[in-house]
Amino acid sequence: MPSTIPELIRDAGQVESRITPEAVQRRVQHRRRARGALALLTVILGLVVAAPIVRDDDDSVSVATGGEDAGSFGGAAAPPALGMVTARAASPEEAAGMATGRYAYIQAGALVIADAHGQVASSIDLPPPTPGHNQRLVGVTERALVSNGNVALIVDLSSGAVRSVGPISGGGMVLDPAGGGFWAAEQGFDYTLRDWEGRPVGEKVTLPRVSIPFAARDNTLLALVMNNGTVISADKDGVTVVGSGMPLAADRSNISFQTEEGDIKVIAGGTVRTVASVWSLRPAQTIGAASFSPDGQWLGVVVMLQNSGGINRGGTTGVVLIDLRNGRPPLLIATPFAHGLAWRDDGRVILVGEGRSMVLDVDTHLLLEIPPPVGQAVPLR
Amino acid sequence: MPGTEEMASYVLEVRHRLVGALALYCGSQDVAEEAAQEALSRLWQRWDTVERRDAWLYRVGFNLLRSRARRRVIELKAHARLSRPAGDEERQAAFAEGAPVRTALARLPAREREALVRRFFLDQSTAGISLAMGCAEGTVKATIHHGLGHLRLMLPSRRDMDQDGMDQDGMEQDDMEQDDALNHS
């Protein structure tokens, strides 16, 4: 007979589960089939939606497709890669508000550089992907950094030369926003800043286990601890917890993240402050990454509006613009098609999604369409 | 699929304990079963990439139940299982024996509940709990302490102290005195 509360808890939790490995496996297979069907449907819808506005020379169409590789794809000639329509990931450059006059993305085994109108400026062939891994564009400054399994591919944009650096433990790497190199996993969760030759140039920073670094600044790594949702700042002296939630964006002086409650918080100079509550604005959730404006005054994020269905069910989206300096109430601007955003040098916002791209003027709230559309892209400086 | 046998034996090994912990957390064995199966299927898909499988599994299980929206989906799926297998009444009756404790647990704040389940049902150390819950070890001890205090009020017939010098928090007296000192400083 249990006499203490711990014993009572132990006894109350003694249950017999009926879960079987076969049932778990069936659920895995069911999920894979559902994702495959959704991906196919998405591509079909993408083609239908994008077709009326395709006006490129080679008749290519463009949709923001999910996953790590995304971008425009050829019309009849080149089959599109399957993928769900999701928001694109933020890059450190985008978060830092670097110039968005050109974009880079990975498509069909090549790093593609395109201008703001979607015209391809150059295409640099990459080595084949490591079996079992997707190539992922980590970030771009004057060089592009591509994760390729356990090695990093460093692409010199001016010469087109591709250098392979590694091995990198687990493929974990983050671009140094100052352009001096990149942070790479040495062993497990130990990270070191390396130059473009791959040589370590700084002291080791150790992250907690199961952490994903998402930004760097001033010899400090910012990471999300996966098992508890904590956002941490780590340098050679140790780790500081700076908040909790999912990382949204970072530049050299600011970091933003969203808590489980829907608050968007910004960390600047070691101080955490809440700048907006997504729930109070009535959107149901943010879609993908937020990004800081080039001058650091604004934070923009695409949101799914409440009760409008999922993004794959034609739900309505909007853009929330948060004025970080003046503390004015956040602006919510309905943009039914937008799945992602990036800032231009002139302070305007580029919105992409459903095969379209538009420019939003922050002051006047005017939306101007800019054909042809761009796909998932990383702005270059 | 490579590793299927290993994954299958892992499911058989952890299922009772996982469902037990989640049932203590959410108060319903049906909902716990659904959440556990969902967490196991997610782990199955990431079998080769997840390093600390147990920690990952419990984290996902608790997260599934913590989010209101995700929990609603889990509950709907659990309640959709209309046909119960033979012998289920027996199982339900056995589960009902612990009802007062689960009811009391359900009235606790979520973090206190999770800390108590991890500490006393899963036998995790306070250091392990602090890592899993993303807070300091002292906070974990205080959370457990408060949780037990609340449970004692709801289950007043229980003894306050075990015989071996440990209190019900599972912490040594020295630790608690230090915590108290910190709390009062």
- Say if CB A344 and CB A42 are below 8 A apart: no
Q: Is A119 within the bounds of a domain?
A: yes
Task: Give the mean pLDDT of B133-147.
Answer: 89
Q: Tell which of B63, B85, B107 closes a domain.
A: B85
Q: Are residues B5 and B47 in the same domain?
A: yes
Q: Which residues from A are below 8 Å from B54, CB to CB?
A: none
Q: Is B37 within the bounds of a domain?
A: yes
Residue B124, pLDDT above cutoff 50: yes
**Per-residue confidence band for B166, with pLDDT thresholds at 50, 70 and 90:** very low
Q: Which residues from B are below 8 Å from A3, CB to CB?
A: 158-159
Nearest to B33 among A18, A28, A210 (CB): A18
Q: Are residues B183 and B104 in the same domain?
A: yes
Q: Tell which of B38, B58, B85 closes a domain.
A: B85
CATH number at residue A248: 2.130.10.10
Q: Which residues from A are below 8 Å from B21, CB to CB?
A: 13
Q: Flag if A13 and B121 touch (Cβ within 8 Å).
A: yes
Q: Is B103 within the bounds of a domain?
A: yes
Residue B21, pLDDT above cutoff 90: yes
Q: How far is CA A345 from CA A45, A116, A293, in A?
A: 32, 12, 8
Q: Which residues from A are below 8 Å from B97, CB to CB?
A: 11-12
Residue B127, pLDDT above cutoff 70: yes
Residue of A nearest to B69 (CA): A284
Q: Is A12 within the bounds of a domain?
A: no
Closest-CA distance, B147 to chain A, in angstroms, reads 11
Q: Which residues from A are below 8 Å from B101, CB to CB?
A: 8-9, 11-12
Nearest to A9 among B18, B121, B132 (CB): B121
What local confidence, expressed as pLDDT, does residue A47 receive? 29
Q: Is B161 within the bounds of a domain?
A: yes
Residue of A nearest to B51 (CA): A210
Q: How many contacts, defined by CB atoms under 8 Å, are there between A and B?
A: 128
Count of structural domains within chain A = 1
Please work out, in degrees rounded to the nearest 5, the angle formed at the alpha carbon of residue B138 by the alpha carbons of B134 and B144.
Answer: 85
**pTM, to two decimals:** 0.40
CATH number at residue B185: 1.10.10.10
Q: Is A16 within the bounds of a domain?
A: no
Q: Is A38 within the bounds of a domain?
A: yes
Closest CA to A94 of A221, A215, A193: A215
Q: Which residues from A are below 8 Å from B8, CB to CB?
A: 21, 25
Residue of A nearest to B154 (CA): A5
Q: Tell which of B24, B58, B85 closes a domain.
A: B85
Q: Is A9 within the bounds of a domain?
A: no
Predicted ipTM?
A: 0.77
Q: Are residues B133 and B165 in the same domain?
A: yes
What local confidence, expressed as pLDDT, does residue A252 receive? 58
Closest-CA distance, A2 to chain B, in angstroms, reads 9
**Per-residue confidence band for B145, with pLDDT thresholds at 50, 70 and 90:** very high
Q: Which residues from B are below 8 Å from A260, CB to CB?
A: 67
Q: Are residues B132 and B170 in the same domain?
A: yes
Q: Flag if A9 and B19 touch (Cβ within 8 Å).
A: no
Q: Is B102 within the bounds of a domain?
A: yes
Q: Is A14 within the bounds of a domain?
A: no
Q: Is B48 within the bounds of a domain?
A: yes
- Say if CB A330 and CB A321 are below 8 A apart: yes
What local confidence, expressed as pLDDT, does residue B118 receive? 92
**Beta-carbon contacts of residue A344 (< 8 Å; ≥ 6 apart):** A99, A100, A101, A116, A294, A350, A359
Give the pLDDT confidence of B1-15 residue by residue, as tens digits: 556 788 889 999 999
Q: Are residues B3 and B65 in the same domain?
A: yes
What local confidence, expressed as pLDDT, does residue A92 receive? 37
- Say if CB A219 and CB B128 are below 8 A apart: no
Which residues of A sit within 8 Å Cβ distance of B?
3-6, 8-21, 23-25, 27-28, 31, 208-210, 225, 227-230, 241, 244, 260
- Say if CB A141 and CB A93 are below 8 A apart: yes
What local confidence, expressed as pLDDT, does residue A240 receive? 78
Closest-CA distance, B12 to chain A, in angstroms, reads 7
Closest-CA distance, B178 to chain A, in angstroms, reads 22
Residue B116, pLDDT above cutoff 90: yes
Residue A290: CB atoms within 10 Å: 28
Give the pLDDT confidence of B38-56 residue by residue, as tens digits: 899 888 888 888 878 888 8
Q: Is A11 within the bounds of a domain?
A: no
Q: Are residues B73 and B31 in the same domain?
A: yes
Q: Is B92 within the bounds of a domain?
A: no
- Say if CB B52 and CB B95 are below 8 A apart: no
What does the alpha-carbon distance between residue B176 and residue B181 come to, in Å, rounded to a whole number? 8
Task: Give me the domain span that covers residue A142.
Answer: 21-379
* Helix segments in A248-313, DSSP class H: none
Count of structural domains within chain B = 2
Q: Is B93 within the bounds of a domain?
A: no
Residue A110: CB atoms within 10 Å: 14
Per-residue pLDDT of chain A (381 residues; tens, 9 = 90+): 566 888 888 888 888 888 888 888 888 877 766 554 444 433 333 322 222 222 222 222 222 222 222 222 222 222 222 221 222 333 334 334 444 445 677 777 788 776 555 567 778 888 888 877 777 777 777 788 888 888 889 988 888 889 988 788 776 788 876 777 888 888 778 888 888 888 888 888 888 877 778 777 777 887 777 766 677 878 888 887 777 666 676 665 677 777 766 777 787 665 677 777 765 555 556 666 677 887 778 888 887 765 555 544 556 777 888 888 777 777 777 776 677 777 777 778 877 766 666 778 777 777 776 654 444 455 554
Q: Is B181 within the bounds of a domain?
A: yes
Q: Is A5 within the bounds of a domain?
A: no
Task: Give me the domain span that covers residue B74.
Answer: 1-85
Q: Which residues from B are below 8 Å from A31, CB to CB?
A: 41, 45
| % of chain B at pLDDT higher than 70 | 66
At residue A49, what are phi and psi to the nearest 5 degrees?
Answer: -70, -40
Residue B18, pLDDT above cutoff 90: yes
